[in-house]
Every structure is written in structure tokens, then in C-alpha cells.
Amino acid sequence: MDKIDYQAILERISEEIKPFCGKGKIADYIPVLAKVPANQFAMAITTVTGEEYVIGDSEVEFSIQSISKVFTLTLAMKKLGDDIWKRVNLEPSGTSFNSLVQLEYENGIPRNPFINAGAIVVSDAIYDGRGKTKNQIIRFVRDLSGNNSLYFDEEVAESERKFGHRNRAMANLTKSFGNLNNMADEVLDIYYHQCAIGMNVLDLSRSFLYLANEGVNSRTNERVISGRQTKRINSLMLTSGLYDAVGDFAYWVGLPGKSGVGGGIVAVVPSVLSVAVWSPELNESGNSLVGVKALELFTTYAQNSIF
């Protein structure tokens, strides 16, 4: 079988996505994100054998937002194993990522760990003191990416806190049902900071490589989680990773993936690679409009959808 020319594929995608630029909308409900220049695009591939390919604004750091939920879920599974599923369910939500209605109907048990309520419960599950937990999260992401300069963007975290009225409502509603063990404000501080991690696309593709490599960080050859847990997280990304647009993403792209309203999306081809894309303009579902199209083209040209 001929070796796939990933760089040529990235260059082709970079040209073909140009007509889609300008057709989305930057997330403006977090005011600091509204300042990000819209006309940016970057994409990166990291293979399990150590090859890397990039194109576009690949050195620009952006707020990963909900992509961070995969990292905290990994930490929760390392800490609690399957006990985490006593507090959060495993089903697609079918509603917006910040829905309060579903949370009340289901007695404070979030539908999955990738909607906001679910991620807040996961943050509570790994809580070991506010400062210690934040340090644990950033160290974990630095280890996965190999970039020790990764940071929490405090301006983004403060903007999240100041305008996070619905998240506060979700945290307090969850606590009223007895599914939040710690003070809501302290848990939310952890949640806001994890969403405010700044990375570029290459950092992001490197940091997800363990999910393409049966739970092993191929850069260090260290096991992050078990192969069984890796399968579980990939399954959840496939069914719940792109808010209420997971069906469209599975249909058009066909990979487990996770998105964030900062415009990033990362996906994995099991046993082969991880691929990250960033373009800040979003579609109606809150996913990067150009990013989704770029990943559709990627799996088409590389012929590496899981289906």
C-alpha cells in the first residue's frame, strides 16, 4: 500500500475550504473570544509513528474550550474507573450543550460528560482542592503535548466566570440534586480554567495521540489509560463529542472527535493518527464551520474514516 502524502492533502484542503470562510460566526457570548480575528485557519496531523504535518496559522494559540473535557474525563477515569458513571450518563443529549431542562428532568445526572453539566460533574469528581486540581490538569496537558509552556489564559477564564450565568445555574441545580460534592464556585473555577487552556493545533494533535494509540503516549511510550478506557472515550467522542451535531459529524467525517467554541476540533483515527483543525467561525451547532468541512475533506482524501 502506498504511503499517504498527508502534506499534499493538507495543502489541497487549505485551498478547498476558502469558499467557506466568512460564512460562520465567532462565539460572542464569551466576550474575549469575540476579539479573535475570524479569517484564520490551521490544521495539524500527528501520527503514532511520530510524523507531523501542519498548514496555515499553526503557531497561533487559541482557547480550546470544551475540548478540555476529554482531558478531565481521562483524569476522572484514571482516578475513579467506572465509578464515574454513577454520576454522569453515557448517552447523546440531543439538546444544546448548556441545557438546563434536561438536567432537571433527569434529576441532576448529566446525559454525558461532554455537555457543560457533565463536565462540571467531572471537575467535581477530580476535585482535590482548587489550586491542586488546576495544577494537575495543566501538568497533564503539558505532559501529553510535550509543551511545558502551555498555560491557562486568565483573561478567558475571567470572561467565562463573569458571563457564565447558565453554568452557575447548572452547577447549583446539580448540587441541589446531591450530585456535586464541593462548593459550586470552586468547581466552576476549575471548569472555567480548563476551558481557558491555550494551545495551537500541533499541541492539540500531539495531546490527543494517546487516544489513537490504545492509551499510550507514543512520544514518551508511557501508558496514560488502558486500552479499554481508550475505547470508551473514543466511543463517547463519536456519540457526544460535537454537541447536538454528532450525527452530522459521524455522517460527513466519520471519526471520533471533540470540538470547542473557540473554533478547534480534534479527531482520531485509531492506531494511525490524531488530527486537529482550528478556524474560529462557528456553525449553528457551535462547531467550527470550516473545521468540520476540512475534516470531511481529510477523511475523503485520506480514505481513513472508521466506517
User: pLDDT truncated to tens, each residue of the chain (307 aa)?
Assistant: 568 999 999 999 999 999 999 999 998 888 889 899 999 999 999 999 999 999 999 999 999 999 999 999 999 999 999 999 999 999 998 676 777 888 998 999 999 999 999 999 999 999 999 899 999 999 999 999 999 999 999 999 999 999 889 999 999 999 999 999 999 999 999 999 999 999 999 999 999 999 999 999 988 899 999 999 999 999 999 999 998 899 999 999 999 999 999 999 999 999 999 999 999 999 999 999 999 999 999 999 999 999 8
The domain spans of the chain are 6-302
Which one, of 304, 303, 290, lies nearest residue 16 by Cα? 290
DSSP element (H, E) containing 53: strand 52-56
Residue spans of beta strands (DSSP E) within 148-289: 151-152, 197-199, 216-217, 222-223, 257-259, 264-269, 273-278
Architecture of domain 6-302: 3-Layer(aba) Sandwich (3.40)
* Active site (catalytic) residues: 66, 69, 191, 243, 261
Contact 93/109 with Cβ under 8 angstroms?
no
**259-276 burial by CB neighbour count: b if 16+ within 10 A, else e?**
bbbbbbbbbbbbebbbbb
pTM beyond cutoff 0.85 = yes
* AA identity, residue 103: L
Q: Any idea which residue has 467531572 for its cell?
A: 122
The length of the chain, given as a count of residues: 307
Residue 37: what are its φ and ψ, rounded to 5°? -60, 135
